[in-house]
Amino acid sequence: SFRLGSMPSQNKLDLWPIPQRIRPLASEPPGEVGGFRLDDTASAQPRHAANRLAAELGPRGLLADHDRSERPCPRVDLSIDPDRLGRPESYHLRLERDRLRIVGHDPAGLHHGISTFLQLLPRSGTARIPNVEIEDWPSLPERGVMLDVSRDKVPRMSTLLALIDRFSDWKI
């Protein structure tokens, strides 16, 4: 289980890369939450993002069955709105006791917002997740990684695919 509550200082959130803007929200007393409730989404891109989020929350026991849970289950709203966010790959994340809202400028922005949210979750055990509002966008339009295999053995395809997933989660 986990608790929503007050936010630690910005440098203790353990987010990578550090978002452009982090704002703590006025918090209610922290309380246990039963998990996150994913509602059906109308369009394909948020539905794809919701499937990714469900795949991450399920194994952690954080996907709510809101009909059976006695604890609050924050509703998850995922959307894409290029008019609201001016920069490519940007996102706005707002997490409160009863709602998680992630708006991306484009599908990449929505992906980055989900990646940031997943970094806020506890790895295991009971932890406190902050009531927070985050806005972020890439500092550089082009980002990349060089994998130098000339000095070492060539990685297996499974290793390369795992690296791609990790770099994607790190918004590279």
User: What digits encode the pLDDT tens for the residues 67-122?
Assistant: 555 666 788 999 999 998 889 999 999 998 788 999 999 999 999 999 999 998 87
Residue 20 backbone phi and psi in degrees, to 5: -65, -40
Give the pLDDT confidence of 136-156 residue by residue, as tens digits. 999 988 888 888 888 878 889
Q: Is the model more confident about 145 or about 9? A: 145
CA distances from 154 to 54, 158, 165 (A): 33, 12, 18
Q: Which amino acid is at 55?
A: A
How is the chain split among helix, strand and coil, in percent rounded to 5?
Answer: 25, 25, 50
Report the C-alpha gap between 69 and 5 in whole angstroms.
19
Q: Is the model more confident about 108 or about 172? A: 108
Whether 15 has a pLDDT exceeding 60, the answer reads: yes
Look at strands 91-96 and 132-136 and give their pairing: antiparallel
Mean pLDDT of the region 46-52 = 88
Tally of CA atoms within 13 A in the half-sphere of 155 that contains its CB: 11
Contact between 54 and 62 under an 8 Å Cβ cutoff? The reply is: no
